Structure 1
C-alpha cells in the first residue's frame, strides 16, 4: 500500500500525557457512539424479535428502519458536519457542554423508542435533527457560507420526516409511517451523493499519483437532480412508473459519475478504495429500486444496497479517515482498519446479492450480514476508542 504524509506532525512531546478529549469536536462522540450502536443494534433486534421487550414503543422492522436512519446514520452525519463546518467556516461548532447535551438528546432517543413513552420518544427524536440544524446554521450564517446552507435545510427535512413517522405511528396523521422512512432515505442518498462528489475525486487525486479523477458539470447536474427528483416523486405519491424512470436515469448518471473518478486506480490506496467500492452501491441501489417499482426485484434489496452497501461503506471509510486526519495520525489504513472495511463490505454483499440469486436464503443472508456488520463496527469502536477520547497527537485542539 502506498504511504501517506500525515496532515499534522506525527507525535507530541514525549512528556505530554493524553488528555480526555471526547467533547472537543463533533466527530469524536458521535462516531464512537454510532459505531457502538451499530454493533449492538443487531443484538437489540434479536431481543425485540424474541419478544423480550413487549412494552417497546417501536418494534419489528419499523424500529430497525427508524434506528438505522434516525439513530446510527444521522449521528454519523451530524458528527461529520460539525467537524467539516468548523473547517469550512472557520467558526466553532458545538463542543464541550453543548456537544454533550446534543449527544445526550441522541442517546435519549435511542432509549425512549424501547419504552412505552411514545410521545416523549416522538418529541425527542424530532428535536435532535432540529437542534443540530440550529447548531449548524450558526457558524454557517456567521461566516456567510451560503454554499452549505442546504445542509441545514436537509437536517430540517430529516426532523420533519422523523416527526411525520412518529405522528403516523401514533395515529395522529393518516400518512403511512413508511413515507417518513422513505423521505429520510432519499435525503440520506442526496447527502451521500453531494459529499462523495466533493471528497472522492479529491482524495483519489491527492492519494494516488496520476489518478486523473474528473467531474463533468452535466453529469453532476443530472446525478444530483435525479436524486432530488426521486425525493419529489416519493413525497408527492406519483405513480411507480414515474419513480422507476427517474431511478433508472439516476442509476445511469451515478454510474457515469463514478467512472469519471477512475475507480480502477483506487486499489493503490485502501482509504480511497473503500470509498469507491461504497459509492458503486449507489447505482446498484437505484437500478434495484427501478426494478422493484416494476415488481422485478424485492424493494428490501434496494434499501439494503443503499443502507448497508453505500451508507455503511462510506461511513466506515470516512470514520476511519476523519478519526486519523483530525487526530494528526498518518492517513493510511492499517490491518484493523482494512478488516473493518472488509467486514462491512461482506455484510452488504451477503445481504443484497445472496437473496437476489437465491431468495430461499434470505433469512440466512440477514443473519450472516448482521453478524459481519456488528463485527465491523464493533471492531472500529474498540480500535478507535483511545483515538477518539484522547487529544490530537500534535496537542492542538479538535
Structure 2
C-alpha cells in the first residue's frame, strides 16, 4: 500500500517516523553523551597532571574547585541533560529540543567549558548558569502538558542543582560568604539523590525483564525511608558540622541502601554485564555514605566518601546508562560487547584505585591518582571510539530519534 493511500492518522504516524535533520541533533542524548564522554576522558588526566605539578593551567577558579565543579556541572550535568531530554520524550510523547535548538544547548554547554579556562570569570559564570534553568523549563513544560506529574520531582532537583551552581559562582566571586566547596557538595548530594530515585525505577525493572519468574516488589514505606534518610544524611553532611547525629543518619542510610540493593537480586545479573554494571555502581552509594559517616568522626578523609559517590556511583551509573540508552535509542540490541565490558571494568577499577587504595596504602596516593585517571580516561575513550559513529548516524531501524 502506498503511503498516500493510508488513512490520514496512519500517514501522520508514518511521517513522524521519518528521520529529520542531521542525526547528531535528533535527540538530546546524541550530542550530550559525546560531549560528556569526551570531557571526562580529557579533563581527569589533565587535573591529575595539574595536581602533581606536571602541567600548568590557570582556570578561573582554583584548580581544585575547577576540577570538582567541572566534573559535576560539566561532565555529570551533560549526561543528565542528555538523558532527561531523551527520557522526557519517551515519558510524555512530546518533542524535546532538536535540530538548531538542541545544537544551541550543546554549544552553550561547550562554551561554558571553554570559558572556565580562557574567559573572564563573569562570562564563565553566566554561560555555566544558563543551561540547567533552560532544561528544567523544558522538562516542566512537557511534564505539565502531558500531566506526567510523577516525574516533576526530577525537574525540581534540576532547579536545586541550578541553585547550587549559582551559589558556587557567587561564593567564588565573593558575593556569597560561604566556602565555595559547600555548594559543590550540595550538587553532588543532589546528583546522588537523582541516581537513587532513578535506580529504584530502572534497576529492578531491568533485572526482572531478563530474569523469567523474578518478581521484585518495592515496599513503598521502606523506599521512602531509604530516600528520606539519604536526603537527611547528605543534608547534614553538606550544611551541618560533623556530629554523632550525622554519623548515625548516614550509617542508617547506607544500611538501607544495602538492603535495597540485595532485594534487587544482583547475583542473577552476573552473566549480563550491561545489567551488573548498574548493580555494581549502585553499591558505591552505600559505600560512599558509610565513608561519609566515618568522616564525621575523622577516621577517614571526606574525599574518600566524595569520590566513592562521584567516581564509583556516578561514573559507574553513567557508563552503564550511556551504553544501554545509546544502544536502545540507536536501534541496537541491549547486549554489551567486550569493549563495553572493558569500559565497565575500567570505571570500577578507577573507583577502587581512587577511593580504597589511598585508605589502605596512603604512601601510594600519587600512584593511585595516576592509575585511577588512566583507567577512567580509557573507559570513556573506549565509549567514544565505539559509540560516536552510532550517535552521529541514523538509527539502524531507520526511525527518527
Whether TM exceeds 0.5 here: the answer is yes
Deviates more, 1:163-172 or 1:38-47: 38-47
Q: Which residue of 1 aligns with 2:59?
A: 56
Using CA pairs below 8 Å that are at least 6 residues apart, which structure has the higher relative contact order? 1
Structure 2 distance, partners of 1:361, 1:194, is: 36
State the Cα distance separating 1:30 from its structure 2 match: 0.6
1:364 equivalent in structure 2 = 367
The residue that corresponds to 2:5 in the other structure is none
Distance 1:142 1:110 in 2: 33
Q: Identify the match of residue 151 of structure 2 among 145, 148, 151.
A: 148
Residue of 10, 15, 31 corresponding to 2:33: 31
Distance 1:235 1:306 in 2: 14
Corresponding residue to 2:384 among 367, 381, 386:
381
CA distance in 1, matches of 2:176, 2:193: 26
Which residue in 1 is equivalent to 2:3? none
Equivalenced residues, count: 383
- Please state how far the C-alpha of 1:95 moved relative to its aligned partner: 0.9
| Residues 48-197 of structure 1 aligned to structure 2 (within 5 Å) | 48-49=50-51, 50=53, 55-197=58-200
1:61 Cα shift?
A: 1.4
| Offset from partner CA, 1:136-185 (integer Å, 9 cap, x none) | 11111111111111111111111111111111111111111011111101
Indicate which of 25, 42, 45 corresponds to 2:44. Answer: 42
Q: CA offset at residue 208 of structure 1?
A: 2.4
Whole-angstrom distance in 2 between the partners of 1:304 and 1:247: 16
**Is residue 258 of structure 2 the alignment partner of residue 255 of structure 1?**
yes
Q: Secondary structure at the match of 1:339?
A: helix
* CA 1:185–1:308: 2 relative to 1, 3 Å: same
What SS class does the counterpart of residue 268 from structure 1 fall into? coil
Q: CA deviation at 1:270?
A: 1.2
CA contact (8 A) 1:240 1:294 kept: yes
Please tell me whether the aligned partners of residues 109 and 121 of structure 1 are also in contact (alpha carbons under 8 angstroms).
yes
- The equivalent residue for 2:290 is 287
Give the drift of 1:26: 0.6
Q: What is the CA deviation profile of residues 322-374 of structure 1, one whole-angstrom value per residue up to 9, with x for unaligned ones?
A: 01111110110111111111111111111111112111111211110000000
Tell me the secondary structure at the aligned position of residue 171 of structure 1: coil
For normalisation by structure 1, the TM-score amounts to 0.92
Structure 1 position 234, deviation (Å): 4.5
**More off after superposition, 117-126 vs 317-326:** 117-126
Given that 1:186 and 1:230 are in contact with CA atoms closer than 8 Å, whether structure 2 keeps it comes out as no
- Quote the Cα distance in structure 2 between the aligned partners of 1:396 and 1:306: 37
Deviation at 1:134, TM superposition (A): 1.1
For 1:114, what is the secondary structure of its paired residue? Answer: helix
The answer to whether the 8 A contact 1:208-1:268 is kept is no
Aligned partner of 2:228 in structure 1 is 225
Q: Is the 8 A contact 1:247 1:289 kept in 2?
A: yes
**Residue 300 (str. 1) matches residue 303 (str. 2):** yes
Task: Give 1:21's aligned residue.
Answer: 23
Give the aligned partner of residue 208 of structure 2: 205
Per the alignment, in what secondary structure is the counterpart of residue 90 of structure 2? helix
Q: Secondary structure at the match of 1:197?
A: helix
Alpha-carbon offset, residue 59 of structure 1: 3.1
Consecutive unaligned residues of structure 1, counting only runs of 5 or more, are: 1-15
**Following the alignment from structure 2 to structure 1, what is the Cα–Cα distance between the partners of residues 316 and 195?**
11
TM-score (norm 2): 0.91
Map residues 255-274 of structure 1 onto 2, 5 A cutoff: 255-274=258-277
Deviates more, 1:41-50 or 1:305-314: 41-50
Shift of 1:237: 2.6
